[in-house]
């Protein structure tokens, strides 16, 4: 291949299956913001995702399980009113590399902005207890994310926890933090790690990560201030990173992924992925022609 050292993976979102549909087929109703996990021990796929309505915003979180990664059954539902939150948004489901127990992070609007929460660890995701909810990351008065923190994307590398999240001061941008136990978090010394600019001059947010041959392909999402409803009309690009702290943006001029079924919205956001053998399962929220958003999966064969 000469001096070409890295081949990115481009999700084919023209082929997809629908996992969950919004409760109404109209604008302001959507379902998605998924966090995906494959548990080798039980041979099960797990999804955590939120459901939104026009009236109640993100009013519930769903935990669902599958044997094939496409057809999911709901096994647990959490409601925002159970914990006096104004809204739920993206969760993050992980399995602790040392204990083998499951952990669920949540983002919730407390009325004065967003915070990132966690539930107590469990041996089986069916046993998560919403009453154990506690804050693990709040806005910092000494940093640019002094107004809001939300939508955690939590992962481990060699047992060390990392979190990409949306931090907001004036505008939403992409931030990073690390932790030795997944509970006590340290912000990166240099944040945000990806700022607004170019086609994503309104919002710039984390989406998904692929670890490929020692190179991290980092998907991010964003919007342009000239687009229709840029708060929700979010599209996806990517960059590469060697250390998870500095991201070299590749899709400088335009997004990589926009909804093939878009109308007023071309939203592709909140991507997550699971790699099993020679397949990648891409989970994401996508705009429909009726201007609602649904939860989809695209399964792609790859040569890794």
What would the mean pLDDT of 283-300 be, rounded to a whole number? 99
> How far apart are the C-alpha atoms of 87 and 21, rounded to whole Å?
19
Whichever domain contains 80, its CATH number is 2.115.10.20
CA 180 vs CA 98, 159, 221: distances in Å: 11, 8, 27
Domain membership of residue 276 (yes or no) is yes
267-271 mean pLDDT: 99
Domain count along the chain: 1
Q: How many residues does the chain have?
A: 304
pLDDT in tens, 175-231: 999 999 999 999 999 999 999 999 999 999 999 999 998 899 999 999 999 999 999
The whole-angstrom separation of Cα 285 and Cα 55 is 20
Which residue(s) pair with 48 in the sheet?
35, 63
For the segment 124-128, the average pLDDT, to the nearest whole number, is 98
State the chain's mean pLDDT as an integer. 97
Give domain status of residue 269, yes or no: yes
Q: Is residue 139 part of a domain?
A: yes
The answer to whether residue 304 scores a pLDDT higher than 80 is no
Q: Which domain holds residue 162?
A: 17-301
Q: Is residue 59 part of a domain?
A: yes
Q: State pTM to two decimals.
A: 0.97
What contacts 72, CB < 8 A, 6 or more positions away?
19, 20, 45, 47, 64, 65, 66
Q: What is the pLDDT of residue 36?
A: 99
Q: Is residue 86 part of a domain?
A: yes
β-strand pairing of 92-95 with 102-109: antiparallel
Does residue 5 fall inside a structural domain? no
Does residue 177 belong to any structural domain of this protein?
A: yes
What tokens appear for 177 in the block?
């933090």
Q: What is the pLDDT of residues 58-117, one digit of tens each?
A: 999 999 999 999 999 999 999 999 999 999 999 999 999 999 999 999 999 999 999 999
Q: Does any domain span residue 154?
A: yes
Q: What is the pLDDT of residue 230?
A: 98
């Amino acid at each position: 291949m000469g001096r070409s050292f890295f081949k990115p993976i481009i999700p084919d979102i023209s082929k997809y299956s629908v996992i969950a549909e919004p409760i109404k087929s109209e604008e302001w109703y959507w379902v998605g913001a998924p966090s995906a996990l494959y548990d080798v021990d039980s041979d099960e796929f797990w999804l955590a995702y939120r459901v939104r309505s026009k009236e109640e915003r993100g009013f519930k979180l769903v935990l669902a399980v599958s044997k094939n990664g496409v057809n999911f059954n709901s096994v647990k539902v959490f409601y925002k009113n159970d914990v006096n939150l104004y809204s739920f948004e993206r969760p993050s489901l992980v399995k602790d590399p040392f204990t083998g127990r499951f952990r669920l992070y949540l983002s919730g609007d407390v009325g004065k902005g967003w915070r990132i929460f966690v539930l107590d660890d469990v041996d089986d995701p069916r046993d998560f207890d919403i009453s154990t909810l506690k804050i693990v990351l709040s806005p910092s008065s000494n940093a640019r994310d002094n107004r809001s923190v939300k939508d955690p994307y939590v992962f481990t590398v060699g047992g060390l926890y990392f979190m990409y999240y949306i931090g907001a001061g004036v505008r939403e941008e992409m931030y990073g933090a690390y932790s030795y136990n997944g509970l006590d978090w340290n912000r990166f010394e240099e944040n945000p790690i990806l700022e607004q600019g170019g086609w994503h001059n309104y919002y710039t947010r984390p989406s998904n990560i692929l670890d490929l041959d020692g190179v991290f392909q980092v998907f991010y999402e964003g919007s342009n201030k000239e687009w229709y409803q840029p708060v929700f009309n979010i599209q996806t690009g990517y960059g590469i990173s060697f250390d998870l702290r500095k991201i070299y943006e590749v899709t400088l001029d335009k997004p990589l992924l926009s909804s093939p079924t878009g109308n007023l919205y071309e939203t592709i956001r909140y991507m997550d992925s699971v790699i099993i053998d020679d397949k990648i399962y891409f989970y994401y929220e996508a705009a429909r022609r009726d201007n609602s958003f649904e939860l989809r999966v695209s399964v792609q064969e790859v040569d890794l």
